[in-house]
Amino acid sequence: MESNRIPYKQEFDYRFIKPVRHLRNKTQSQLGVLMNVDVSTVGKLERGELKFSPLYESKFKEAMKRLRVSNVELVSIRTMLEMKSKRGYK
């Protein structure tokens, strides 16, 4: 029997920042406030110019809690990113 259950703990990386931000209609500046980081840091993280360290991961996770991003939404973002990757999009 196949399970369609969503894993409790969703993993994510820097590629999730921009889709989550757009999902909640937030600017980089607004997300920076939620993450408690500078707006330039958000931009660098989104572009992959800055290492998505455990510190930034925890700040992003906290921001997602404040924005009430669900596991279902994270799964749909993951699916979208996988499809873009397969098709050669950035």
Question: Tens digits of per-residue pLDDT, 18-73?
Answer: 999 999 999 999 999 999 999 999 999 999 999 999 999 999 999 999 999 999 99
CB 2 within 8 A of CB 56: no
pTM attached to this predicted model: 0.84
Contact of 24 with 67, CB cutoff 8 Å:
yes
- DSSP characters for 10-76? ----GGGHHHHHHHTT--HHHHHHHHTS-HHHHHHHHHT-S---HHHHHHHHHHHHHTT--HHHHHH
